[in-house]
Chain A
Amino acid sequence: MIDIDNFTPLTALVGGGLIGLAAAILYAFNGRVLGASGITASALEGVVHPAAGEGLSWRVAFLVGVIIGPAVYMLMTGALPQSDYIAQDGRLVIAGLIVGLGTGLGSGCTSGHGICGLARFSKRSLAAVITFMATGFITTFVINHLVGL
């Protein structure tokens, strides 16, 4: 059943449009793919091994910008966006670890594969998106309806 009360297609579409715009700007001006995991991994690499730090500054500026984003939202609306966690403590740590490992191995996440990769019709990105959507749906089914975590 679709949960009509919490369905927010308009803000989702506007927010998604801004995400697409951010990706378009980064590509048009810097020639770079907007992948949150890839930019984070490369920035981390640049910090740990400064010799390999070519392109560190725009990446750090991007990451700082992403953190400023919710603050801009707060200036516009008076509050930070609603954020209620579904996981705490150990589960949250394990989830973070798996997300980092998975996006590192898979060379991308929801932004890099989901928005940028699909927009240039990359077969690798399509395969990645189908795969992470599938395991996301299955895992949620297991936790919510089989084991009730």
Chain B
Amino acid sequence: MQLIVGLVSGVIFGLGLSISGMLNPVKVSAFLDLAGAWDPSLAFVMGGGLIVNILAMLVLKKRTKPFFAERFSLPQSKVIDRPLLGGAALFGIGWALGGLCPGPAIASLAYLSGDALMFFIPMLVGLYSARFIFSKI
């Protein structure tokens, strides 16, 4: 059942990304370009996502465990540390340089294009390498 939930959630996520415009690096870049011809659309993507997810969290608040798993798995760390801030800072730079964040980078594989792979494969290398740097900063 967890597998089916994963697939359904993934398809809805990929469809949402498609409708929202997040798969278009030019649009992402126009959102990040406050000093240019600014396109604020993507703020509405986050707004829409937050509204639905906050409501869902309120509804789920009374549940002690998820429907198909033993427990809710949430991140345990509460500290704002160097890896968090340094990593987020790097991510913002890469997002602005390429116009893609991880979700859209995965969905873009649907285009079967060389460009999609030229972002996705280095992203995997970066994700995998992160652990070796994590303990050193």
The listed residue (A31, A84, A88, A124) touching B84 by CB distance below 8 A is: A124
Interface residues of A, dominant DSSP:
helix
Query: A135 contacts which chain B residues (CB < 8 A)?
Result: 88-93, 96
Interface residues of B, dominant DSSP:
helix
Chain B interface bracket (under 10, 10 to 19, 20 to 34, 35 or more): 35 or more
A100 touches B127 (CB 8 A): yes
B12 touches A105 (CB 8 A): no
Least CB distance from A101 to B in Å reads 4
Chain A interface bracket (under 10, 10 to 19, 20 to 34, 35 or more): 35 or more
Query: A2 contacts which chain B residues (CB < 8 A)?
Result: 38-40
State the A residues within 8 Å of B (CB).
1-3, 6-9, 11-34, 36-37, 40-41, 44, 48, 55, 57-73, 80-89, 91-107, 109-111, 113-116, 118-120, 122-124, 127-129, 131-141, 143-145
Pick the 4 closest A-B CB pairs, nearest first: A69-B14, A65-B10, A100-B126, A104-B130
Given contacts A82-B23, A131-B92, 14 further A-B contacts (CB under 8 A): A14-B19, A30-B9, A30-B66, A40-B127, A41-B128, A59-B6, A65-B9, A65-B13, A67-B14, A67-B107, A92-B119, A98-B126, A115-B46, A124-B80
